[in-house]
Structure 1
Amino acid sequence: MTESFTYVNGILHAEQVDVARIAAEVGTPCYIYSAERLRHNYKEFRDAFAGMDIHIHYANKANPNLAVTRVLAACGAGADITSGGELERALAAGIKGQNIIYSGVGKTEVEIAAALKADIYQFNVESMPELHAINKVAAQMGKKTAVTLRVNPDVSARTYKKTSTGELGTKCGIDMVQLEEAMALFKTLPALDFKGFQVHIGSHVYDYEPFREAFLKLAELTHAWRARGYTVERLDLGGGVGIPYDGQSLAPFADYARTVRETVGNLGCQIAFEPGRRLVGDAGILLSRVTYDKQGHSNRFLILDAGMNDLIRPAMYEARHSIIPVKQSGAEQTALADIVGPVCETSDLFGVDYRLPGVGTGDLVAILQAGAYGAAMASTYNGRALIPEVMVSGNQYAVVRRRIAIQEQIDWESVPDWANVATH
C-alpha cells in the first residue's frame, strides 16, 4: 500500500475517503484513483532530475482517463501518445500540442496530419516508410516538423516477453544496422527536422541495468553522429520504469536517475521521458465485492464481481497484484484462496494462494497497483459493462467515468434488414 491507500480504524481509505462508502454509492466493481498520489509520483520523478533540462511526457496509454491526465498536466506533464485517439484525449485534457510526443509504429497519414495541425513537439519515428509518410504529409501542409529516430538497441528489458520492445526481431524501432540508411534520408526529405534519438526498451522494467546498456548506446550514437556533422539536441529515453507489485522488490528510483545522469547527463541534450506506470500504477485500485466463497474439492475460490475484462494484466502477463480486504479482520488466518472473476475461462484469475482473513461472500476487497493498464485495457467481454472510474482528492471524490451499461452498448449497434432472412 501507499500513503494514499491506508487503513483508518480498520477500514481502507483512499486518502480521506472510506472506500466502502464509494462502493455503496457508486457500486462495484470500480476503479479508484488518488489525485494526491499522482501529484506525489510526478514530483518525485521531476525532482530526481533537478538541474537537468528534462521534459516529462506522460504515457497516455497507461491510463487515458481525462481527469488523471488533467491532474498530471496541472503538475507540468506533457503527453506521449500512440494514436490519433490519444492525441484527441491529450488535447481534451488541456495539454498543448507543443507538449505532445507522438510514438508508435503505425501512424496513418490521417493521424499524422492531425498531429501536425496540433503542432506537436516531435514525432518518434520507427521506420523508413514512416519517415517518407511524415515528410509527404508535412510537405502537403507546408510544414516542417521535428522528428527523432527510435532506435532498437537490441537490449533485453528482462521483463514480460509481451512488453519487451528493445530486442532484435520486435516490431519497434529502427535496427542499429539500418540507422545509416535512415539518417541518409534526412538529406532528401526537406519537411523533416532531425532532432535526435529515442529508445524505449519495454514496460515494467525493474532491473535498471538494461536501461544503462541502452542509454550508453544512445550516448555512443550521439557522439558518432555529431562527429559527422549532425546536430543531436534531443534524447528521448522513453518510459518503462517499473513499480513493485505483490512480492516484487525494486531498487530506489534514485538509482534510475543516477543511471540517466551517468550515461547521457553530460551530453548537453534536452532529455525527454515518457513515464506511464511509474506515475499512475500505484495511484489506483480496483474495488470489488466477493460474489461467492466457493469451496471446491481441492481449491477454495473467492469469486469477485470484477473480472479479466476489467483488469486483464494477470490473465495476459501472469502479473500478480496485491489484494487486501477493505475491512481488517481480527479473525485468525483463513484457508488459502484463489481470487477469480466471473468470466467463463480459467484465465480469469487474479491470483492463487492468497490469504484474506475474514473475507467471504459479500465482503469488499481491493486489488492494488491497478492504476496503469487497468481501465485502459478493459473490454466488454462476456457482455459485461465498462465499470466506473472514481477520483479522490482529500475528503472528496467524483465519478470521472460513469458505468457504460449494456443497453448503451446495444444502442451502438444496428441490425440490417437482411439479417432476418433465414437461409436453408
Structure 2
Amino acid sequence: MTHFPYLNGQLHVENVPVARMAEEVGTPFYCYSTAAITDHYQAYVSALQDLDAKVYYSLKANSNQAVVATLARLGAGGDVVSLGEMYRALKAGIPADKIVFAGVGKTRDELAEALKAGIHQINVESESELDTLSEVAKSLGKQAVIALRINPDIDAKTHAKISTGKSENKFGIDIDHAAQIYSRAARLPGIRVAGISCHIGSQLTDLTPYRAAFSRIAELVTSLRRAGLPVERVDLGGGIGIAYRNEQTIDLKDYAAAVREIIAPLGCAIELEPGRSIVGNAGLLITRVINVKSGVSRKFVILDAAMNDLIRPTLYDAYHDIIPVMQPSNDDPVSRVDIVGPVCETGDRFAEQRAMSPLQAGDLVAICSAGAYGAVMASTYNTRLPPAEVLVKGDAFQVVRPRPTYDAIIGQDSVPSWL
C-alpha cells in the first residue's frame, strides 16, 4: 500500500497522522486515501490509453458518496448492481450515460428506473430477464441498450464464493446458447443488443483464466458477426486481484497486453468494471485495543472493531495485514496472538496466531487493504454502531459518513400498537 507511510514513528494517511484522526473521530473508523484512489484509477487509464476502452468503477466494492464522487471527477463511469447503487452513482456525479447496470436478479421496477434514467447499458443475464426487459421497455416506449452476459465456463482460480464464470455459477448465459439468444435479442421489440459482457470472478491473481475467457469472447464475437449480427461492445468485467499479503498478483500492464492482443483486434468498444483494484489498497480500518487476554494456550488481542465492521476474515477466511499505528522498534519482541473482536461469535476473528510486536489496551492498530468490501458489508449486529468513514486528501481529512447514534439505529424499529 502506498500513501500510508510511517512518519516520525507514527502511521499516516497521506500527510495526516492516524492518531490525530482517531482522537477526533473515535474508533473504529475506515479511512481512505484520495491519492491512492486516484493513482489506482489512473493506472487503468494509462495502461489502456491506446485502446477504445472506458472504466466503469464497480460501486459494490465501496459506494461511499465521497469515494464515488472522487472517481466521477476523474472521469470514471459506474458499474452498479442495484437500483440503490444507480441512485448513488447519479447523486455522486456519474452521468446516466456512463452507468452500466449488471446483476443476476434485477426486478421490473429496477429495469424501468434504469430505462427512465437513460443509462448506458443493461447487462442481461438470462433469457427470461431479456423477455422481461423487452416488456418493460415496450410499456415505457423506450429502447433498452443491452450487452448479453455470457458464462464462458472458466475457472477463475479464486475463492469459491467470488467465482462467477463457471457453468455451475448462477451468473450469465451458457456460452453454448449465447449465439441463439443474442440472435433472438436482436429481433425483440424494445431491445438494442449492443454487445457481449463477461465477468468470471473477483480477486484473480493469475492472468491465465482471463486469457482463456478473452479467447472465448473473441470466438463468440467472430461467430456472431459471421451470422450477420452486429457486436459493438465487449464488457470484460472486473476482478483483478490486489496483494493482501505480498502475494504475486496480475500486473496491469500484462492484463492490458492481453486485452490488446485478443480483444482489441475485434474493433469493439471495450468496457472494464474494476472495483477492488481501485479502492482495496486505498483504505484502512483503524481500531483500538480494548484488552489483551491470556488464555490457557493462546493470547488474545481484543479490538473495538468486530466482524460486523469487517466481515471478510470471517466470510472468506481472508487475510489482512494488521499493523500498529505507533511504529514498532526493530528490536521489539514478537509473539503470536489471536486478534479478535468483541462480538459473541468465535468466528469474530481478524487473525489467528499472527506474529505481532507487543500491544496493550489503548493502542491503535490499522487493518490494511480494507478499502473494498469493508464498510459496504458492515452491519449493526449485536446493536453495534457501524464505523465512521473518513476521506483524506493531502493534509486534510473529513468524515464522509458519520457514526450513527444508538437512538438512530433503535429508532428504525417500531413497536406495534398492541404492545
TM-score normalised according to structure 1 size: 0.97
Contact 1:386/1:405 (8 A) holds in 2 = no
- How far apart in 1 are the matches of 2:236 and 2:207? 13
Residue type at the aligned position of 2:38: R
Q: Which residue of 2 aligns with 1:189?
A: 188
Q: What is the aligned partner in structure 2 of residue 159 from structure 1? A: 158
Question: Which residue pairs with 1:56 in the alignment?
Answer: 55
Q: Percent identity?
A: 48
Aligned residue number for residue 228 of structure 1: 227
2:347 aligned residue: 347
Distance of 2:405 and 2:131 partners within structure 1: 43
Question: Deviation digits for residues 249-294 of structure 1, max 9, x if unmatched?
Answer: 2142211111111110211100000000011000000000010111
Matches within 5 A, 1:22-421: 22-330=21-329, 332-418=332-418, 420=419
Instruction: Give the conservation status (yes or no) of the 8 Å contact 1:299–1:337.
Output: yes
Task: Answer yes or no: is the 8 Å Cα contact 1:333–1:355 preserved in 2.
Answer: no
* Contact kept in structure 2, 1:29 and 1:287, CA below 8 Å: yes
CA distance in 2, matches of 1:235, 1:120: 17
Q: CA deviation at 1:247?
A: 4.2
Amino acid corresponding to residue 375 of structure 1 in structure 2: A
Q: Which amino acid aligns with 1:137?
A: V
Q: Distance in 2 between matches of 1:197 and 1:339?
A: 45
Distance 1:143 1:46, change over 3 A: same
Aligned equivalents of 2:183 and 2:269: distance in 1? 23
Between 1:258-267 and 1:215-224, the stretch displaced more is: 258-267
Matched residue SS, 1:366: strand
- Contact 2:240–2:250 (8 Å) recurs in 1: no
Give me the whole-angstrom Cα distance separating, in 1, the residues matched to 2:26 and 2:18.
11
| Structure 2 gap segments, 5+ residues each | none
Q: 1:179 to 1:48 in 2, by over 3 A?
A: same
1-side partners of 2:405 and 2:201: how far apart?
34
Shift of 1:184: 3.4
Q: Structure 2 length normalisation: TM-score? A: 0.98
d(CA) in 1 for partners of 2:332, 2:24: 31
Query: Match for 2:77: what amino acid?
Result: G
Partners of 1:304 and 1:371 lie apart in 2 by 19
Secondary structure in structure 1 of the residue aligned to 2:289: strand
Contact 2:241-2:250 at 8 Å conserved across structures: no
Amino acid corresponding to residue 301 of structure 2 in structure 1: L
- Which amino acid in the other structure matches residue 360 of structure 2? G
Shift of 1:351: 1.1
Offset, 1:50: 1.6
Amino acid at match of 1:405: T
Secondary structure of the structure 2 residue equivalent to 1:226: helix
Q: Secondary structure at the match of 2:335?
A: coil
Q: Counterpart amino acid of 2:320?
A: H
Return the offset for 1:187. 4.7
Question: Would the alpha carbon gap of residues 401 and 355 (structure 1) be closer, same or farther in structure 2, given more than 3 Å must change?
Answer: same
Q: How many residues align?
A: 418
Task: Give SS of 1:212's match.
Answer: helix
What is the identity, as a one-letter code, of the residue corresponding to 1:320?
Y
4+ residue stretches of structure 1 with deviation over 6 A? none
Q: Name the amino acid aligned to 1:132.
A: D
CA drift of 1:60 comes to: 0.4
Residues 186, 192 of structure 2: 8 Å contact kept: no
CA distance in 1, matches of 2:236, 2:335: 46
The answer on whether the counterparts of 1:34 and 1:393 sit within 8 Å (CA) in structure 2 is yes
Please give the root-mean-square deviation of Cα atoms over the aligned residues, in Å. 1.0
Equivalent position SS for 1:215 = helix
Deviation of 1:145 (Å): 1.8
SS for the counterpart of 1:241 is: coil
